[in-house]
Structure 1
């Protein structure tokens, strides 16, 4: 990892709350969406009534976050590994550290890897039993890691896979301070290639990390940051057309939220008709981005914006936990912890674990 000299993308004064907000916002969105991940919109209405799912307290049992938050935390731990080496004066291969972190995550899931896969000594996160539960991990994440081969752009594993497992785990890359935005984009793209070989999976993850970086380190307003992510995705030498279409659609439709699509009112079903169900990378990013943008005008406070966006990102017939987790990451990056509903925080799974890892990241990147 190349650390930029001087004040390039230096951490803002509110860096700590943006970091914790990004991580916790993603976990809350994930837990909310995970309640209905495999339900159709009709199933959600049958369970929760015509208002659909509106509050985390509607969970029949203590809510859990899914593999989305598990992998996000392991992304963060891979970065912690690199930063610890760097603070000791040693340069580490960032993508190798990320691969080792994801292999350790796979082990917590009770899933075997190939005999030739490398082994890393356990780290603090590996001893946290709350993470040792299978929460419907993505097939490409599992199979890509289980091969024991380190996927790269040149030597892809799962070459046809573009599942959203790359996007939902990539917010921490955008939180890196003192690093050029282009470096953030490359780190995220390379890490996506560890499990997913399709260009859309790679470019969607990189665009998402770029968006988070522009919000936190660039200090851009939401609309400008979203447009910046679209513009960066468009400059890719072989830019994925479907990703560009989803990003452009999210930006265009959100300017007249829930108004029209092909001349018809944009209902919840029409939202997924326009942007997809979120099971693949570019759709998950497009849906989440639309939900955050479309609800920004009606929000009187960061918490109101969070609730409106997460409800919209959840109540559809697609990959509700991933779209809500990504939306939660964006909102936490935008507002910091002021976006997090206090009543939801009391229901959050393992908040101390999330905050501990966030605090370690803040300490290693800022010394505070």
Structure 2
């Protein structure tokens, strides 16, 4: 795997990219926070409590508004792992899935440790954020897949029967590798998805979602991203359910006014490709970010995952300033997310100024150790 290196970024380009990175991360987290409290509720119950358009505000969950689930936690560690992969490239070691596996293992430690161990300096700064040690309903597939040091791969995936959307949600950051070609973005996303979700529909859906976000982060639109994903999926074994789900989303756009009932039809069953289908539909038909997110979480399925997928897409499309400020103000961990997003943007646009094989900024290596 490789990336386009040596690109020159102008100030305007850097600012635009940083806004899209922030938008992707914060948008996904807002969607998670908006939808997760509705997980397990029927569509009728959601309508009874929140009306036809869904919740108008973030709901109280885990004792406060704006809390996020393990979906956002893992997404943060994806960004952290990608930064660490770039830093480790100076050593001659270049295998991003391994660095992502190490990052996900650091997340797994937060699910059983009482808090950060300050003596483990090789963990970097993100693993020392105490709020991430809250256990927020991690799925069995994630815990089992990351429960030991053996890394799942496409040839030997972990949990080969796992079809849930969790690996898809955490794949948004791969789409922010704007210097990479789309086929490499799909490849790294699906390889990292097999570390917890080994069923083809789950890991191919993760690859497809990363390609959609990639198109948006490069200035395209949702339809551009879906068409690119369909093209890249076509030669891969087992891609038919994912491709058909994406085609259903495009077809649903032409079937009249947006409705929660149509989202429920697309998401029926809650498997990875179906949740992705519903999210693509909501991103295409949403009048704005708020409407798209409310629509995405009001169907009686895995609302947190669907909301996170829509938030990630719309955040990449429009940038952080399009996100509802009242929801941002109450979002758990927002300060951490902003620092991480800005660090990722700085690494991707100005990495050679921070570290090279022969020299490095000590503070950067303390935050993102090569070890």
- TM-score with structure 2 setting the length: 0.86
Which segments of 5 or more consecutive residues in structure 1 lack a partner in the other structure?
113-118, 260-266, 300-304
Equivalents in 2 of 1:206, 1:120: separation in Å?
32
- The 1:277–1:127 alpha-carbon spacing in structure 2 relative to 1, beyond 3 Å, is farther
Contact between 2:141 and 2:159, CA under 8 Å: does it hold in 1? yes
- The 1:58–1:128 alpha-carbon spacing in structure 2 relative to 1, beyond 3 Å, is closer
**Could you say what secondary structure the match of 2:292 adopts?**
helix
Runs of 4+ in 1 over 4 A off after TM superposition: 5-13, 57-60
**Could you say what secondary structure the match of 1:167 adopts?**
helix
Give the C-alpha shift of residue 160 in structure 1: 1.4
**Could you say what secondary structure the match of 1:367 adopts?**
helix
Q: Is residue 357 of structure 1 aligned with residue 358 of structure 2? A: no
**Could you say what secondary structure the match of 1:35 adopts?**
helix
Give the C-alpha shift of residue 12 in structure 1: 4.2
Give the C-alpha shift of residue 208 in structure 1: 0.5
Give the C-alpha shift of residue 61 in structure 1: 3.0
Range moving further from structure 2, 238-247 or 205-214? 238-247
Q: Deviations over 1:78-107 (max 9, x none)?
A: 111111223x35333211111111111111
1:269 matched to which residue of 2?
A: 261
Equivalents in 2 of 1:38, 1:20: separation in Å?
29
Contact between 2:66 and 2:327, CA under 8 Å: does it hold in 1? no
1:25 matched to which residue of 2?
A: 27
Give the C-alpha shift of residue 221 in structure 1: 2.4
Range moving further from structure 2, 62-71 or 315-324? 62-71
Range moving further from structure 2, 34-43 or 208-217? 34-43
Range moving further from structure 2, 276-285 or 327-336? 276-285
Q: Is residue 95 of structure 1 aligned with residue 134 of structure 2? A: no
2:329 matched to which residue of 1?
A: 346
2:159 matched to which residue of 1?
A: 158
Range moving further from structure 2, 237-246 or 75-84? 237-246
Contact between 2:215 and 2:222, CA under 8 Å: does it hold in 1? no
Which of the residues 66, 69, 86 maps onto 2:69?
Answer: 66
Equivalents in 1 of 2:94, 2:237: separation in Å?
29
- The 1:142–1:258 alpha-carbon spacing in structure 2 relative to 1, beyond 3 Å, is farther
**Could you say what secondary structure the match of 1:156 adopts?**
coil
Q: Is residue 240 of structure 1 aligned with residue 239 of structure 2? A: yes
Counterpart mapping for 1:1-368 below 5 A: 1-5=1-5, 12-13=13-14, 14-49=16-51, 52-56=54-58, 61-86=64-89, 88-110=90-112, 121-217=122-218, 219-233=219-233, 235-258=234-257, 267-273=259-265, 275-277=266-268, 279-295=270-286, 299=287, 305-367=288-350
1:262 matched to which residue of 2?
A: none
Equivalents in 2 of 1:354, 1:271: separation in Å?
29
Give the C-alpha shift of residue 309 in structure 1: 0.4
Give the C-alpha shift of residue 51 in structure 1: 5.2
Give the C-alpha shift of residue 213 in structure 1: 0.8
1:302 matched to which residue of 2?
A: none
**Could you say what secondary structure the match of 1:56 adopts?**
coil
Equivalents in 1 of 2:256, 2:113: separation in Å?
43
Range moving further from structure 2, 238-247 or 120-129? 120-129
**Could you say what secondary structure the match of 1:312 adopts?**
helix
- The 1:96–1:278 alpha-carbon spacing in structure 2 relative to 1, beyond 3 Å, is farther
Number of equivalenced pairs: 343
Give the C-alpha shift of residue 257 in structure 1: 4.2
Q: Deviations over 1:105-153 (max 9, x none)?
A: 11101179xxxxxx99322111111111111112211111114321111
- The 1:34–1:150 alpha-carbon spacing in structure 2 relative to 1, beyond 3 Å, is same
